[in-house]
Amino acid sequence: MNRPIKVLIAKPGLDGHDRGAKVIANALRDAGMEVVYTGLHQTPEMIVEAAVQEDVDVVSVSILSGAHMTLIPRIRDLMNRAGLGEVRLIAGGIIPDADAAVLKQLPGVAALFGPGTRTQDAVAFIAGLFRDRAAHT
């Protein structure tokens, strides 16, 4: 028995641009996933608390504020300390290549999606993380 892939989508920090997060939420829903959407202005602590209670498979954050170098490592660290070491973190938004190269080195940061990402690619990436899980159920 199984349940659909469950993804938390959150907007950490102060920017109020959630169009991208909503587009992704819709695309994941249309791909049969269950998306917990937490809305704007979430602190890293709020995001990780939600990820724990909801027992999601993936945490996905959208950041357009420029604070990604602070927020992403912080969220990853809090996730690890909360016992979510196995849960993958992905991010989308405006993340310059040089920063992306650094962030991708963090263990447990699975992918970064920048502007121009096709929704199918983001969906396929997340589905791909769990392909083997679907096979043995």
Partner 1 sequence: MSSNDLIQRFLAGEVLAAARVLSVVERGGDEAERVLDALFPRTGRAYRVAVTGAGGAGKSTLANALTRRFREQGVTVGVVAEDPSSPFSGGAVLGDRVRMTNAVGDPGVFVRSIASRGSESGLSALACELADVLDAFGRDVILLESMGVGQVETQIRFTADTVIVVLTPEGGDEVQSLKAGLLEVADVIVVNKSDRPGADEFAADLTAMVGLRDASADGWTVPVVSTTARSDETLGVLADTIARHRAHIDANGRRDARRRDALRARIRLLLEEDLRASARQSATLRERFDGIFERVAAGSISPYRAARELGEFLKAGGHSPR
121 binds partner 1 (CB under 8 A): no
CA atoms within 13 A on the CB side of 62: 24
Which CB atom, from 8 or from 95, has the smaller least distance to partner 1? 8
Cα diameter, the chain: 42
Pair 58, 80: CB distance under 8 Å: no
Q: Which of 15, 17, 31, 103 binds partner 1 (CB under 8 A)?
A: 31
Which CB atom, from 20 or from 95, has the smaller least distance to partner 1? 20
DSSP state of 56: -
4 binds partner 1 (CB under 8 A): yes
Q: Which residues from 77-116 bind partner 1, rule CB under 8 A? A: 82-84
Q: Which of 15, 17, 23, 52 binds partner 1 (CB under 8 A)?
A: 52
CA 25 – CA 29 distance, rounded (Å):
6
58 binds partner 1 (CB under 8 A): no
Residue 80 burial (10 A CB sphere; 0-12, 13-18, 19+)? middle
Question: CA 132 from chain center: how many Å?
Answer: 20
Q: Which of 37, 77, 80, 127 binds partner 1 (CB under 8 A)?
A: 37
CB of 99 to partner 1, least distance (A): 28
Using CB under 8 A, list all residues that contact partner 1. Answer: 1-4, 25-26, 28-39, 45-46, 49-50, 52-55, 82-84
